[in-house]
Amino acid sequence: MTQATFNRYERSLKQGRKRPFLTLLLFICLLALLATVVAAAPPDVTDLRVEGATISSQPAYGVNFISWAKGLTPVSQTRYDNGKATGATWNRWPMYWYDIEQSDNNFNWTYQDVAVENDLAQGFQLNAILLGTPSFYTTNSKPENPLPRPVPGRPLGIEAVQAATPMGVYEPVFSDNSDILSADKQINSANRWARFVYTAVSRYKPGGVLSQANGWPAGQGVTHWEMWNEPDLASFWDGTTADYARLLQVGYLAAKLADPNAQILFGGLANESTNLSFYEDVMTIFDADVQAATYDYYHDILATHNYLYAWRSWYHVWRADNTLAARNLTKPIWLNESGVPVWDDYPGPVCEPTSPFRASMNEQADFIIQSAFYATYAGADNIFFFQLYDDCGNQPGGTNFTPVASCSGDPTIDPGGDAFGLFSNVADPGISGCYWEHPNGGAPRPGFTAFQLLTTYFTDVEPLWRLRPGNDDPVNGPQEWIAFYQPATQSRILGLWARFGEAQTAVIPTTNANGSAQLIWPDGTMEVVTAVNGEFTVTLPAATNQNAIWDPALYPIGGRPAILIEQDTLPPTVSINAPTTATTEISLSWTGSDDGSGMAMYDVWVAVDGGDFVLWLEGIGEETAVYPSQLGHIYQFMVVGYDNAGNQASSDPITVLAIELSEIIYLPIIAR
């Protein structure tokens, strides 16, 4: 419609005040004309500005027990090299309080110094766990039962006496009889836990005692401190929930006095089924503390654990995030223990394929991939595997047996052990400490390759979407698809696997104009696949693990997962909506969808009375806006959407007429 045509129509409206029937007729005709308005050509979207999404660092990777405070000599260089070969940059091991403070205020850091110095020299960051009450500081009547000095492969565990609430933990943290932190405060020595934490952090922090003694460069030292391990599990913590809340509060304040930049981890949660509300319960205690908000609820990072059931890596991270969100808090969440021991490799139990909570070596590799995809989708910022070698698992130091020659149909013939490791133990009791009779000692298991794939390909990603296709139930379909976008490569990374005991055929729409992608399996097998008619077809093997003792019908680990990686080169789909007519305001809404990288932003363009389109809103993430219109004009709108990979597309233009109709045209026409 030209301006002259519109002017003629406007004059007819004015005349219509005297001729209502003609006015109504003209209005109806105008609505028909709107569909044929010819607008100026949309701009060339290839010339418009593109901004990608902010690159995420999610997730980082760690492995438990790459080293530990084993003695006067560090772990072997081979062990460090194997730890580095996983691609992990984080190590995690405990500093047992009862080993270090050997009598009141008498600290021996010799073994810990060796381990910390060598970890840092090898380039690892350390998630240090502080735990284990000295028997002379326990608040109960349990007899003193000190453990022997550390032995190779000692498990992450403590005796009952070391699980007790420390004496003096309810004393004020600071010597001025307060729990108010400021730089000029001093630790109250009556609070033994506060003194221990302060001393440990002061020793190992960047610029601390050990740093100054060794001439470390600025910034080198231990910065991440975990306050106990699995405090929701009675075998690690026999105090009350309130006792742990106090322990965490004291540890946080003492550590921050020693190093304001220290990062404090809530003790990694075991997620015991009878105590799933532990984190919420502690946070509820802090809700009543008027200082809790000031001190970030006494932790900087929430740590959580998961074993065997891959989906729970999503569930536990998701639950923790909900607990934080309920308080308008945002914190990193670390899955700093995850894994499953294998049954089909020494130390077994190789004669018991249905051994509870265990998996085959291939299933362990599948768990590693699936757990990482689940946890990262839920928002996990750091993912640790437990552990590098079998060491002693959950058994005492020195545990060993000769591999069985034949099962003879009798599962009890093999005593079995805990084969958690990415590597089997080496054949040397002086090094391994346990299980030193593996026929190929020190060899990597398939899980090692799976973990390497994660640290190579699954880094700096952003969650996109998650589907469960394969039948009519979108919530419980037999396939699991979890998609991420990797900004650095402008690629979609899709993990997919069968959830149950039947093989599946996955048909995946491509997001690449050439229909080409890389398909990777947990054993490191890679192939280039090509889409047919815009779709990839991938056969997903059936799930096989049913070792969840609480539900024999459950498949806690899905079938062999595939990882499909392809660059996103296809444009998004965008559209814009508005009412056909308006007055002085035009309410607009638009949408965009992109399965390859997700939508980044929009530009909204407007043309008035058939003129050229001009940019109205630029680079916005919102999907609604109100345009201030003027009566008597025709407006056209178009939206240009950009995905995170820089691809762009424009919507079809829509037309809106801004008029003010005389009230008389709404009156019924009465024939006489």
- 533 pLDDT higher than 50: yes
Overall size of the chain counted in residues: 672
Report residue 196: phi and psi, to 5°.
Answer: -65, -50
Residues 49-80: pLDDT tens digits? 323 333 445 899 999 999 999 999 999 999 99
Tokens of 654: 């829509």
CA pair distance 48, 58, nearest whole angstrom: 30
Element (H or E) spanning 30, and its range? helix 20-34
User: Which residues lie across from 536 on neighbouring strands?
Assistant: 508
The region that residue 544 occupies, defined by phi over 0 for left and psi between -120 and 50 for alpha, beta otherwise, is alpha
List b or e across 138-176, with b for residues whose CB sees 16 or more CB atoms inside 10 angstroms: bbeeeeeeebeebbbbbbbbbeebbbbbbbbbebbbbee
- Is the Cα dihedral 84, 85, 86, 88 positive or negative? positive
- 418 pLDDT higher than 80: yes
CA 168, distance to chain mean position in Å, is: 37
Give pLDDT, residue 162: 79
Give pLDDT, residue 6: 32
- Is the Cα dihedral 306, 309, 310, 313 positive or negative? negative
CA pair distance 401, 584, nearest whole angstrom: 85
- 328 pLDDT higher than 80: yes
Give pLDDT, residue 670: 53
- 147 pLDDT higher than 90: no
Higher pLDDT, 198 or 15: 198
What's the Rg (C-alpha) of the chain?
Answer: 32
Q: Using H for helix, E for strand and C for coil, what is the string for 554-604? A: CCCCCCCCEEEEEECCCCCEEEEECCCEECCEEEEEEEEECCCCCEEEEEE
Given a contact cutoff of 8 angstroms between Cβ atoms, the answer to whether 249 and 153 are in contact is no
Residues 616-630: pLDDT tens digits? 999 999 999 999 999
Give pLDDT, residue 411: 67
Higher pLDDT, 431 or 478: 478
Give pLDDT, residue 58: 86
pLDDT-based confidence at residue 669 (cuts at 50, 70, 90): low
pLDDT-based confidence at residue 108 (cuts at 50, 70, 90): very high
Element (H or E) spanning 255, and its range? helix 241-258
Report residue 264: phi and psi, to 5°.
Answer: -105, 125
Task: Record the pTM.
Answer: 0.88
Give pLDDT, residue 416: 86
Tokens of 606: 């407007």
SS3 396: coil
Strands 382-385 and 333-339: parallel
What's the average model confidence in pLDDT over 416-423?
Answer: 94
Given a contact cutoff of 8 angstroms between Cβ atoms, the answer to whether 393 and 155 are in contact is yes
Given a contact cutoff of 8 angstroms between Cβ atoms, the answer to whether 435 and 369 are in contact is no
For residue 359, what is the DSSP state? B
Q: Looking only at Cα atoms, what is the longest distance across the chain?
A: 112
- 163 pLDDT higher than 80: no
- In order of 74, 346, 435, 591, the CA distances from 152 in angstroms are 11, 18, 11, 59
Strand order in the sheet with 573-577: 573-577, 585-593, 624-628
For 135, counting Cβ atoms within 10 Å of its Cβ (0-12 exposed, 13-18 middle, 19+ buried), the class is: middle
Instruction: Respond yes or no on whether the N-terminal peptide bond of residue 59 is cis (omega within 30° of 0).
Output: yes
Average pLDDT, the chain: 89
What's the average model confidence in pLDDT over 265-275?
Answer: 96
The amino acid occupying position 481 is W
Given a contact cutoff of 8 angstroms between Cβ atoms, the answer to whether 366 and 559 are in contact is yes
pLDDT-based confidence at residue 42 (cuts at 50, 70, 90): very low
Give pLDDT, residue 159: 74
Give pLDDT, residue 668: 56
Nearest to 156 by CA among 397, 488, 401, 319: 397
Q: Using H for helix, E for strand and C for coil, what is the string for 115-141? A: HHHHHHHCCCEEEEEEECCCHHHECCC
Give pLDDT, residue 475: 84
Tokens of 460: 């700096």
Report residue 461: phi and psi, to 5°.
Answer: -115, 160
Contacts of 127 (CB under 8 A, 6+ apart): 62, 90, 91, 92, 224, 226, 265, 334, 336, 384
Nearest to 299 by CA among 241, 222, 225: 225
Instruction: Respond yes or no on whether the N-terminal peptide bond of residue 347 is cis (omega within 30° of 0).
Output: yes
Q: Which of 162-166, 200-204, 221-225, 479-483 has the lowest mean pLDDT?
A: 162-166
- Written as one string, the DSSP assignment of 653-672 is PEEEEE----GGGGSPP---
SS3 414: coil
| Whole-number percent of the chain with pLDDT over 90 | 81
Residues 541-599: pLDDT tens digits? 999 999 999 999 999 999 999 999 999 999 999 999 999 999 999 999 999 999 999 99
Residue 554: other Cβ atoms inside 10 A = 17
List b or e across 588-616, with b for residues whose CB sees 16 or more CB atoms inside 10 angstroms: bebbbebbbbbbbbbbbbbbbbbeebeee
